[in-house]
């Protein structure tokens, strides 16, 4: 059973100050040694640490190692603590709890509270942290995984690891951590892109585009933020997004609204737009008027970054007229163009193969 907290603090204060009597020292080590269960002792020491550690500069603690050392020390008895030579003059004296109710500044109070909770640990294990810091080399910085970087030398349709889709404008770059790992799904954009975001309430989707931060509160929107442009624009087609600069929230953008941000003056305004009309670039290369199947297959290959081949050469010269919004998936687009020529397709090992009779075959 643990003694009264005030008694523990008193014993710790006496021990830290070097004024504990033999009886007080025995009592202090006795309640450690005679504890019926390790769990309350661990919980008590950890609790005192957690109350104050956020306000201090102490290093992190391996509680299993420290607890074992404290218990071992309590069994072998206290010895005089001598600081390592390298720290005798440089280290500061550990402050102790005040014996009066004099008001302390925040930092002073934090140090004294920590001293009450861990003084025993510091002294009883012979300078645990000090000697450990001398003997243990600084940790080697962990190598970070290289980010995924997508550069579009033509308009591309991308499917992100979370299932969201992006139409990336020619000349634009998208960058993100593999798997969109982390508490936030965060990506960086230089250029223009149309986003259709898969909802995930537990992980917000954030786009960093130079000086702006756009947080997804809905689904579909367009951002134009090329490096040398004077303005950044955010246009929403569905749902809503929150837009911030480096200092403040600029506003919430709703469907058929566009926010225009002036980079030089750091000011922004919103205006009404026909969002569909402003996204004509998304439809580039997906409106076909009497184009050959081979021509369309080449455009699909570039847009979705997949090889496309024909198992019947006679299909290549078949003419097709078709029009798309530009946001369709690969399967949706293939289904339409194949249906137009009474053909089918398969996808195997990342390659699309189109099957069917030629235009003049019967």
Q: What angle do CA 186, 190, 194 make, to 5 degrees?
A: 70
Question: How confident is the model at residue 14, as a pLDDT?
Answer: 63
Alpha-carbon distance of 107 to 153, in angstroms, equals 56
Question: How confident is the model at residue 200, as a pLDDT?
Answer: 86
The torsion region of residue 95 among left (phi > 0), alpha (psi -120 to 50) and beta comes to beta
Domain coordinates in residue numbering, the chain? 5-135, 148-280, 285-355
Question: How confident is the model at residue 121, as a pLDDT?
Answer: 46
Count of CB atoms situated within 10 Å of the CB of 249: 11
Count of CB atoms situated within 10 Å of the CB of 216: 22
- pLDDT of the chain along its 362 residues, tens only? 555 556 666 776 666 556 677 777 777 666 655 544 445 445 555 554 444 444 444 444 454 555 555 545 555 554 443 333 433 343 334 333 333 333 334 444 433 434 444 444 444 433 333 334 344 454 554 545 788 999 999 999 999 999 999 999 999 999 998 888 878 899 999 999 999 999 888 888 999 998 899 999 768 999 999 988 999 999 999 999 999 998 999 999 999 999 999 999 999 999 999 988 888 899 988 999 999 999 999 999 999 999 999 999 999 999 999 999 999 999 999 999 999 999 999 999 999 999 998 887 54
Correct CATH for 285-355 of 3.40.190.10, 2.130.10.10, 3.40.50.1000, 3.55.50.30: 3.55.50.30
**CATH number of the domain located at residue range(s) 148-280 in this protein:** 2.60.120.1440
Contact (CB, 8 A) for 40 and 34: no
Cross-strand partners of 214: 207, 243
**Residue 238 vs residues 104, 129, 261, 274, 276: alpha-carbon distances, Å:** 56, 56, 20, 12, 10
Question: How confident is the model at residue 117, as a pLDDT?
Answer: 46
Contact (CB, 8 A) for 232 and 212: yes
| CB neighbour burial string for 65-81, b if at least 16 within 10 angstroms, e if fewer | ebbebbbebbeeebeee
Regarding pTM above 0.85, the answer is no
**Residue 202 vs residues 156, 166, 233: alpha-carbon distances, Å:** 28, 21, 27
Question: How confident is the model at residue 313, as a pLDDT?
Answer: 93
Question: How confident is the model at residue 303, as a pLDDT?
Answer: 95
């Amino acid at each position: 059973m643990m003694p009264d907290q005030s008694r523990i603090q008193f014993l710790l204060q006496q021990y830290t100050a070097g004024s504990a009597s033999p009886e007080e020292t025995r009592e202090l080590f006795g309640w450690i040694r005679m504890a019926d269960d390790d769990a309350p002792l661990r919980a008590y020491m950890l609790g005192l640490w957690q109350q104050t550690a956020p306000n201090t500069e102490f290093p992190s603690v391996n509680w299993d190692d420290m607890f074992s050392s404290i218990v071992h020390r309590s069994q072998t008895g206290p010895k005089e603590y001598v600081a390592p030579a390298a720290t005798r003059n440089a280290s500061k004296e550990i402050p102790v709890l005040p014996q009066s109710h004099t008001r302390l500044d925040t930092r002073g109070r934090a140090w004294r509270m920590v001293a009450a909770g861990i003084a025993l640990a510091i002294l009883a294990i012979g300078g645990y942290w000090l000697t450990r810091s001398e003997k243990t080399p600084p940790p080697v910085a962990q190598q970070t995984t290289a980010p995924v970087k997508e550069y579009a030398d033509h308009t591309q349709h991308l499917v992100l690891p979370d299932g969201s889709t992006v139409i990336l404008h020619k000349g634009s770059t998208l960058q993100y951590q593999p798997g969109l790992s982390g508490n936030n799904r965060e990506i960086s954009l230089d250029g223009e892109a149309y986003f259709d975001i898969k909802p995930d309430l537990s992980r917000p989707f954030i786009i960093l585009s130079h000086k702006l931060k756009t947080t997804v509160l809905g689904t579909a929107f367009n951002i134009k933020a090329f490096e040398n442009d004077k303005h950044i624009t955010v246009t929403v087609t569905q749902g809503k997004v929150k837009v911030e600069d480096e200092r403040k929230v600029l506003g919430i953008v709703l469907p058929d609204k566009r926010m225009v941000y002036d980079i030089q003056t750091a000011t922004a305004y919103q205006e009404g737009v026909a969002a569909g009309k402003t996204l004509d670039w998304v439809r580039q290369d997906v409106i076909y008027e009497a184009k050959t199947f081979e021509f369309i297959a080449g455009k699909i290959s570039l847009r979705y970054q997949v090889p496309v081949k024909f198992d019947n050469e006679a299909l290549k010269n078949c003419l097709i007229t078709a029009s798309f919004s530009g946001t369709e998936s690969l399967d949706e687009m293939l289904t339409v163009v194949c249906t137009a020529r009474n053909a089918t397709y398969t996808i195997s090992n990342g390659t699309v193969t189109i099957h069917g009779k030629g235009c003049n075959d019967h």
